[in-house]
Amino acid sequence: MSDIPKATGFTRVLRASRGRSYPRIIGLLRERSWVFYDTVLPLLGTIAFVYVYKALGAPDRFVGYVIMGGAAMGFWMNVMWSMAAQFYWDKQGGNLELYLVSPCGLVPILLGMSVGGFANTLMRTVAIVLVGSVLFHVTYVIHQLPVFIAVFAVGIIALYGLGVTFASLFLLWGREAWHMANLLMEPVFLGTGFYFPVRALGFWVALGTSIIPLTLALDALRQLLFPETHPALLPVRIELAILGGLAVLFVFTARFSLRKMEFLARREGRLSLRF
Amino acid sequence: MLVSSRASQPLSGARHWWRTLRVAYWLGWQIESNWTDPFLFFVYSIARPLGSVLILVFMYYVVARAAAAAMLGFFVVGTACWPFVVQGMMGTAWSLISDREHWKTLRYIYTSPIPFRAYLIGRALAQLTTAVSAAAVTLVVGRWVLGAPLRVATIHFTYSLVAFALGIASVLALGLMVVSAAFLISGEAWRMPEGVGAALYLLCGAVFPVSVLPPILRTLAQGVPLTWWLEAMRRGLLPPGGVASFPQLTDGQVLGWLAVLAAVWMVLAWTVFTLAERRARNRGVLDRESAF
């Protein structure tokens, strides 16, 4: 008889999620080199774009735009590499099979990955914003703090929902997963307006790229930080409502897609396909 | 029987190098490209650099709609050249790391009777080939869609070709340096080439003139051949009088500095590689796996 107490239902989900988030949160402190790379790499890219604006003679608020873009980049990279492509790494390491034969299923695993990944990335993002702001003397005044927090929270839920949806799609793939995650970097930085107001893309194009939650989240946060100068795509409250809709949509899509793709991956024998 | 005895004859040094280089190039090309169909591979190759150049273009238009097009040309040439650095330098390191950690073939390749440097350079050249389409499409889009001043009449072809060749040699030298570091580290090896690439992107004036950097970074930038390569490529491809990292120097001086630094870095890379390889063997970490 096992000494491990049986867990069922919601308790099982919570325990499995906690178990999966544990290495990500503890890794934040334990793997020093990851802290260095995850903080310094986005910071170097961010600084390069700050210098682009300096070379163009742009007003100081654009430096703030770039630092926010650098912070958002941390979340996007976490979602693509540590959520979407994670099952690809897990295939390589042999963990995916273990997840599938465990009694909890994949949903709590992904939930744990999201929570752990978010906590981990949040710390690094704060570091990027702090260091970037100190280096380039940027100050922020947050207007309507509760709305700011709501936009951030809803945006993150929608973003990680998208990450789980991608994870399920990538479940079918081998090497393609790595390449697709790689592909969805600069084109997404462009479409979501990481380094410039997304309105510059044109209203309809920007509305189209709003399917990626970061677009509206960044635009709304910039409106709250630079209310007089930022060319808004939509009013903040409408953007918040759309983000809420995206969060619900992606959470349900993720759940449906995960079941469908897991079934397909099992049927086509791709769950243990490493290369 | 005849074939077998001929195949077993040892090849001379240069022929052995050439054959290894050719086979490594073919292998590298297969690894890079055969995961999908040619069309998707082409889209994949051009999407990132095009995304990069368009980010810069939108940044430019947000700030300076009516300003001169000089900075636009600067962005386009820098972004067109950068995939060669990403693929040639970072890709070479990833080739070694993936052979070691992912495919787990490094020990077999290393112990086979081939010159290992030729193998790595062959893999690097395959990576560099994947950057050609990205560079070409970026230049074409830059000229015909964005209106950058890239005109056949003002392109200095000989200068550009010499600068390009020296730049590729510099990229290979940097690739060997990064591979040397990858020999000796394991846990962080996947991230290290990316870190070096990000640092070079900031330092070498890929998307802005190095003259806007603080003095200490500007001095560091002058010691890296890529800074001079990007400057020389801009001088070769764009009309005179544009934005430059070293406006006080003539075209010949820029090419001269590039040649000197490329030679210095190649010798340095060769030496560092030899030392790192020896140290990795002595410590028994040449094929140490850690990622999986």
With CB atoms and an 8 Å threshold, state whether A183 touches B47: yes
Please check whether residue A273 lies inside any domain of the structure: no
Q: Which of A36, A44, A96, A175 to mutate to test the interface with B (most CBs of B within 10 A)?
A: A44
Domain of residue A37, residue span: 9-267
Say which amino acid occupies A58.
A
Q: Is A227 on the interface with B (CB under 8 A)?
A: no
Q: Which of A47, A90, A196, A233 to mutate to test the interface with B (most CBs of B within 10 A)?
A: A196
* A250-259 average pLDDT score: 88
Q: What is the pTM of this model?
A: 0.85
Q: Distance, in angstroms, between A121 CA and closest chain B CA?
A: 16
Q: At residue B2, does pLDDT exceed 70? A: no
With CB atoms and an 8 Å threshold, state whether A33 touches B58: no
Using CB atoms within 10 A of its CB, is residue B150 exposed (0-12), middle (13-18) or buried (19+)?
Answer: buried
CB-based contact B206:A47 (threshold 8 Å): no
B281: enclosing H helix or E strand: helix B251-283
Measured between CB atoms, which of B44, B59, B188 is closest to A196?
Answer: B59
Chain B, nearest residue to A179 by Cα = B44
pLDDT-derived band at B190, boundaries 50, 70, 90: confident
The confidence score (pLDDT) of residue A273 equals 65
Alpha carbons A128 and A68: distance in angstroms, whole number: 9
Alpha carbons A11 and A17: distance in angstroms, whole number: 10
The confidence score (pLDDT) of residue B218 equals 93
Alpha carbons A168 and B41: distance in angstroms, whole number: 22
Chain A, nearest residue to B213 by Cα = A51
pLDDT-derived band at B9, boundaries 50, 70, 90: low
Question: What's the DSSP call for residue A202?
Answer: -
Please check whether residue A275 lies inside any domain of the structure: no
With CB atoms and an 8 Å threshold, state whether A41 touches B52: no
Alpha carbons A82 and A119: distance in angstroms, whole number: 13
The confidence score (pLDDT) of residue A5 equals 65
The confidence score (pLDDT) of residue B269 equals 95
Give the model confidence (pLDDT) of B80-114 as tens digits. Answer: 999 999 888 888 888 888 888 888 888 999 999 99
Q: At residue A271, does pLDDT exceed 80? A: no
| Domain count within chain A | 1
Q: Which of A190, A194, A195 to mutate to test the interface with B (most CBs of B within 10 A)?
A: A190
With CB atoms and an 8 Å threshold, state whether A48 touches B208: yes
Cβ contacts (< 8 Å) between B60 and chain A: which residues? 56
Q: At residue B50, does pLDDT exceed 80? A: yes
The confidence score (pLDDT) of residue A152 equals 94
Please check whether residue A175 lies inside any domain of the structure: yes
